[in-house]
Amino acid sequence: MSTLTTNYLTPTGREEAWRFTPLKRLGGLHDGTAVIADRKSLSLKGAAADGVSFERISRELAAPLTESDDAVVGRIRENAADVAVLTIKANTEVAAPIFLNRSSGATDSAELSRVQIRIENHAKATVIIENSGDTHLAEDLEISVAPGANLTLVSLQEWDGKTIHAGRHHAIVDRDATFKSIVVTVGGSLVRLLPTVDFIAPGASCELLGVYFATSGQFFEHRMFVDHKVPNAKSRVNYKGALAGDGAHTVWIGDVFIRAAAEGTDTYELNRNLLLSDGARADSVPNLEIETGEIVGAGHASTTGRFDDEQLFYLMSRGINAADARRLVVRGFFNEIVSEIGVEETQERLMDRIDGELAKAGS
């Protein structure tokens, strides 16, 4: 099987793709100085449903699905010995979510993780990746969504405070296929994720949703890219973030590229940030590049601001103390996206984690 080339340069911080990232905090994941351990922390939780398989195969049998010039991805592909592959067979509809679990590893060395999720023709499934504990992780996750398939992928970063996590989540969406991504980041020291989508045939659609909550000293970066290069595809991006505490820093970059051949495109991207205290910083950069005027619609928006004092006053005037009022406002802010996960136990666990982070921040 042929291997796609990966051409990359070690970032210096002057590149557009890296200008916000504090490279000194990446633990060497970007420049090859990290100590690499042969850890395989990702596993299937429970028994595989009918039509579902999870296996590890050698790198020679699982060539990358796409090229990448990302330095972290390049180092993973050079050094990772095997690939974790989750396959949902054609015409299979999996009723219950498929859980993949990654628990704590170590912070004195790094894990290089290559993962492929392949959902075949006209299959339907929800996959939830649960990340927890403390580790240093470089992740190359590729998702192949075959014609007519429907995949919801939920990635939960419920890390402890020392984790460094740099990953690319790249989806290839085929004809009349539907892909939904939900990314939740509520822990870690530094988390840098690249959720990207490549439409390869007409009729495809994607929805990229996400929430993040950063407290003192945490750095979270989410950098989206949706490549509309075929006609009649639809994309929606909606990310929400909250920040509390001195030195909390989040970065959201939303890039949508509508190529000349992508007539009939329908796209919109939105990012909203809620600042809960002084000393927090939210960078938000929506970008939209259009090469054809023959589209259904295209737009973007970004807002960053503090609590709505009227909301707080309304709640406090009904006997709710200030701390509980703030908690309720934050829950309401995130609920629109968290509720899309569709698993009540998971949703409540995430909301409880957000409550705890908010309490620790003293907001």
Length of the chain: 363
Does the pLDDT at position 321 exceed 80? no
Angle 250-254-255 from CA coordinates, rounded to 5°: 145
Torsion angle, CA of 345/351/356/361, rounded to 10 degrees? 160
Q: How confident is the model at residue 95 (pLDDT cuts 50, 70, 90)?
A: very high
Q: Answer whether 174's CB lies under 8 Å from 168's CB.
A: no
Q: How confident is the model at residue 327 (pLDDT cuts 50, 70, 90)?
A: confident
> How much of the chain is helix, strand and coil, in % rounded to 5?
20, 45, 40
- Give the model's pLDDT for residue 4: 47
Of the CA atoms within 13 Å of residue 163, those in its CB half-sphere come to 27
Q: Answer whether 264's CB lies under 8 Å from 234's CB.
A: no
Q: Considering the entire predicted model, what is its pTM?
A: 0.94
Q: How far apart are the first and last CA of the chain?
A: 54
Q: How far apart are CA 19 and CA 275, in angstroms?
A: 22
Query: pLDDT tens digits, residue range 226-252?
Result: 999 999 999 999 999 999 999 999 999
CA 4 to chain centre: 24
- The CA–CA distances, whole Å, from 7 to 86, 143, 292 equal 27, 21, 30
- Give the model's pLDDT for residue 308: 66
Does the pLDDT at position 3 exceed 50? no
Q: Where do we find the tokens 């908690």?
A: 327
Query: pLDDT tens digits, residue range 204-233?
Result: 999 999 999 999 999 999 999 999 999 999
Q: Answer whether 138's CB lies under 8 Å from 167's CB.
A: yes
- Give the model's pLDDT for residue 2: 36
Return the CA Rg of the chain.
Answer: 20
Parallel, antiparallel, or unpaired for β 234-243 and 42-44?
unpaired
Q: Answer whether 84's CB lies under 8 Å from 57's CB.
A: no
